[in-house]
């Protein structure tokens, strides 16, 4: 039997392939060919899948919990945010607060502590933010990686005005959240997680976990479902 995890996000759905509980490959969903004995776990917030999960994780969500993690959020909480928070929650061994920043099509900033998932924020993703200039006005659209080239001087060109505004949007929005909740650690994930971490450049200890969803689904398989 092969463990297969599916992160069906809005933009770049992917599949994680595990061998002996080790993530050996992450491939685009379109490249996945299902085998008869695959055990499949799915986190889905994107388009409907034709693939069915071997176990429906929704059955482990109640009004107050996901498995043993307390959840202080309505039942509209996206599966990706809930699963990512669960992975962080299970790694906690002492009272602390962690900020989970998942930077993709949208950028979610969630607060997790020993008391569970406390809630969080949803911002437009950085690509979406930059694209609004060209969609709503005749302004140029720049590549997100160009954000790493900006400085803090007053913008004096249209390019600088847009890129520095985007950088300021990230740093001030996330900076206010950090100031309010004072997390002991920040975890960045998602396709733009590394980029956001570099732009934010926080002094708080942090880590980049590109495949947090896949690894958490594997953790659920190993530590929760085998107990049933």
Alpha-carbon separation of residue 177 from 69, 127, 146, 180 (angstroms) = 22, 21, 25, 5
How far separated are the first and last CA of the chain, in Å rounded? 18
Residue among 110, 105, 111, 177 nearest 144 (CA) = 105
Residue 80 appears among annotated catalytic residues = yes
Catalytic residue (choose from 7, 37, 56, 80): 80
Secondary structure of residue 32 in the 3-state scheme: coil
Q: How far apart are CA 26 and CA 37, in angstroms?
A: 19
Here the tokens at position 217 are 């689904």
Residues with a known catalytic role: 80
């Amino acid at each position: 039997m092969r463990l297969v995890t599916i992160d069906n996000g809005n933009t770049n759905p992917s599949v994680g392939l595990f061998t002996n509980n080790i993530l050996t490959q992450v491939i685009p969903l379109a490249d996945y060919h299902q085998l008869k004995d695959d055990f499949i776990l799915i986190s889905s917030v994107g388009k409907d899948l034709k693939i069915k999960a071997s176990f429906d994780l929704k059955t482990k969500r109640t009004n107050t919990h996901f498995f043993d993690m307390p959840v202080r959020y309505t039942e509209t909480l996206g599966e990706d945010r809930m699963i990512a928070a669960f992975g962080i929650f299970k790694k906690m061994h002492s009272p602390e607060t962690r900020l989970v920043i998942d930077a993709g099509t949208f950028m979610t900033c969630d607060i997790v502590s020993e008391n569970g998932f406390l809630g969080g924020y949803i911002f437009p993703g950085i690509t979406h933010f930059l694209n609004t200039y060209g969609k709503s006005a005749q302004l140029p659209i720049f590549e997100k990686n160009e954000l790493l080239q900006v400085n803090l001087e007053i913008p004096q060109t249209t390019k600088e005005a847009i890129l520095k505004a985007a950088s300021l949007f990230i740093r001030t929005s996330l900076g206010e959240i950090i100031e309010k909740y004072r997390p002991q650690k920040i975890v960045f994930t998602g396709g733009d997680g590394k980029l956001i971490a570099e732009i934010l450049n926080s002094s708080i200890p942090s880590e980049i976990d590109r495949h947090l969803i896949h690894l958490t689904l594997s953790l659920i398989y190993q530590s929760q479902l085998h107990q049933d």
